[in-house]
């Protein structure tokens, strides 16, 4: 292994996780966060009902500090960036579920099902890991069908922010801005796991997330109300 690669591996393992964790905590502490529609999450947790949180890949910044509770797992990639994210999530108290949508997608989904059956909630970027952007893939709905967990869509928006030129248009809040965390009505899992039932819930979830995202953008002033 070259010296350059050793340095890069050391940075990813020992330096970057702490830096990113600190940055998330620092930025979040400066934000004026409005929480809307979050009551069902508290209700489900009080009654010990399982949740599958669904969100868009590029809109996950506030999910990390704001959705934490004991026994919450997040599906992460097995790539180097995925392992870095898992280290950051561990700093916030989350468990991670390593999985690859390319090498072993079924194994990753079944691992999510097992975590839910063991009493954990699961967090899912439903258009990840590589898009297309804002298009729900069927995996999360499959997990809900097999585990019996209800799907709760969650989005966030903020202003001012930096939007990265990446496939997911990652949104990074700028300090001292206005942010909103917006939860949707829980979506019951499909009673059957056949393709037609899963596709029906998939479309519902996609439409709901896009509607919530537009509402969140409107609340922070990114989209102006029609005159």
- Residue 58 CA to residue 70 CA, distance in Å, equals 24
- With beta carbons less than 8 A apart as the criterion, state whether 54 and 122 touch: no
Please give the full DSSP string across 96-112, using - where no structure is assigned: EEEE-TTT-HHHHHHHH
Task: Tell me the pLDDT tens digit for each residue of 104-155.
Answer: 788 999 999 999 999 999 999 999 788 899 999 999 999 999 999 999 999 9
Q: Is the pTM of this model over 0.85?
A: yes
- What residue ranges define each of the domains in the chain, with the CATH number in brackets? 3-220 (3.40.1130)
* Cα–Cα distance measured from residue 11 to residue 9, given in angstroms and rounded to the nearest whole number: 5
Q: Which of 45, 28, 22, 71 is nearest to 183 (CA)?
A: 45
- What pLDDT, on a 0 to 100 scale, did the predictor assign at position 193? 87
Whether the per-residue pLDDT at 200 is higher than 90: the answer is yes
The strand order across the sheet containing 51-55 reads 32-36, 171-183, 150-163, 51-55, 121-125, 72-77, 95-99
Peptide bond into 193 cis (omega under 30): no
- C-alpha 88/C-alpha 94 separation (Å) is 9
pLDDT tens sequence across 29-42: 999 999 999 999 99
């Amino acid at each position: 292994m070259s010296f350059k690669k050793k340095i890069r591996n050391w940075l990813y393992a020992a330096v970057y996780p702490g830096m990113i964790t600190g940055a998330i905590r620092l930025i979040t502490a400066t934000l004026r966060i409005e929480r809307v529609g979050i009551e069902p999450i508290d209700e489900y947790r009080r009654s010990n009902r399982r949740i599958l949180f669904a969100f868009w890949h590029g809109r996950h910044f506030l999910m990390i500090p704001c959705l934490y509770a004991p026994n919450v797992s997040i599906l992460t990639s097995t790539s180097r960036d995925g392992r870095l994210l898992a280290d950051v999530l561990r700093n916030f108290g989350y468990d991670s579920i390593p999985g690859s949508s390319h090498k072993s997608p079924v194994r990753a989904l079944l691992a999510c099902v097992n975590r839910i059956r063991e009493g954990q909630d699961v967090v899912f970027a439903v258009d990840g890991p590589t898009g297309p952007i804002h298009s729900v893939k069927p995996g999360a709905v499959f997990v809900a069908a097999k585990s019996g967990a209800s799907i709760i869509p969650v989005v966030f928006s903020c202003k001012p922010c930096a939007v990265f030129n990446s496939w997911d248009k990652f949104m990074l809040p700028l300090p001292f801005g206005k942010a909103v965390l917006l939860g949707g009505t829980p979506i019951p899992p499909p009673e059957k796991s056949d393709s037609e039932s899963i596709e029906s819930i998939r479309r519902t979830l996609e439409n709901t997330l896009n509607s919530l995202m537009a509402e969140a953008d409107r609340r922070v002033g990114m989209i102006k109300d029609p005159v």
